[in-house]
Structure 1
Amino acid sequence: MSTGRRRRYSGALLLSLGLASCSDGPFGVTCSTIGCSSTLTVEVIGDPESVGELRLCDQRFCSLEPGETRAYGDSSRPGWGGPTGDGESWTFTVFYGDLSVEIEDHQGSVMKRVAIDPEWVRVGGTEACGGPMEATVQVEV
């Protein structure tokens, strides 16, 4: 094998390893994590027993009800998956955006709708590439 050919192969190998390992390479930082989802926990303060349903909303839609599912590609009822929770703490998997919390009583009447501004903390990934985040907000009923 000629010296020029070896150099080309070596250069291609080094570039491939740099890209595959998500490390600093000759062209800066390469990030493999795209579109990370994050976890938001909503803690109900006051009278959590009065809460029948709690939804996380953005500018377009609200989360599905707990246990509610939809088929892949079904856009008739958009929304995030339903939360998990114990009545005092509700956890959602979300992407970022302008968020609000909507709380209904056991009869289905909206008790409260409040804009929230979570303080996100990165819990994975890297500082350069970002990664999944977590936040907890408290909503008083």
Structure 2
Amino acid sequence: MSLIVVPLMAAIAMALIVGAILRDSRPTACPAIGWIDGVDISLTGNAAKVASLTICDGAGCVPGGVSASAAPTFGTGSVTRQSDTIWHYDVGMNNPEWITVQAADAAGAILAQKTFMLNWKRVGGSEQCGGPAMTDPVVLAIP
């Protein structure tokens, strides 16, 4: 009897091990989703002088005017003015490691420029599929 039971138990154990390995090795199916991450830029000092911001990251530069009416385009950066002191930079699903913010007056004169390192934290989704992220606001002092 033990000649039948021992091999049978070994076969069942092996089947369970192989099943567990195969289950863990299958790729995760992620839902078709998208999101737009962004960075808030807070202006201090003479923020009323600022007519536009230009923001550069590793992918290039995006100019922004005074109007917040233009809707951001999915997957590309856009800069909009939210209030007298708050601007917003939409980065789509691309989270740059750094941005350089340049503030200009109505005549185009550069008022201030600074590079900021960004620390993105995922706030939704999953580790396997990704998800929306946020970073702390950056502060640009306008003399």
Structure 1 residue 91 corresponds to structure 2 residue 88? yes
Deviation of the 1:100 alpha carbon:
0.9
Partner of 2:139: 138
Q: 1:113: which partner in 2?
A: 113
Give the gaps of 5 or more residues in structure 1: 1-23, 73-78
Aligned mates of 2:118, 2:133 — CA distance in 1: 10
Task: Determine if the alignment matches structure 1 residue 63 to structure 2 residue 62.
Answer: yes
Equivalent residue pairs, number? 110
- What is the CA distance between 1:106 and its match in structure 2? 2.6
Counterpart mapping for 1:29-40 below 5 A: 29-32=28-31, 36-40=35-39
Dislocated runs of 4+, deviation >6 Å? none
**Aligned-residue offset at 1:28:** 4.5
User: What's the secondary structure of 2:48's corresponding residue?
Assistant: helix
Separation of aligned partners in 2, 1:128 and 1:59: 25
**Scaled by the length of structure 2, what TM-score is found?**
0.61
Question: In structure 2, what is the Cα distance between the partners aligned to 1:105 and 1:114?
Answer: 16
Q: Deviations over 1:8-40 (max 9, x none)?
A: xxxxxxxxxxxxxxxx97615333367753111
Q: Does the 8 Å contact 1:84/1:92 carry over to 2? A: no
Secondary structure, in 3 states, of the residue corresponding to 1:127?
A: coil
Identity over aligned pairs, percent: 23
Greater per-residue strand proportion:
2
2:124 matched to 1:124?
Answer: yes
Q: TM-score, normalised by structure 1?
A: 0.62
Specify the structure having the higher radius of gyration (Cα).
Answer: 2
User: 1:121: Cα distance to partner?
Assistant: 2.6
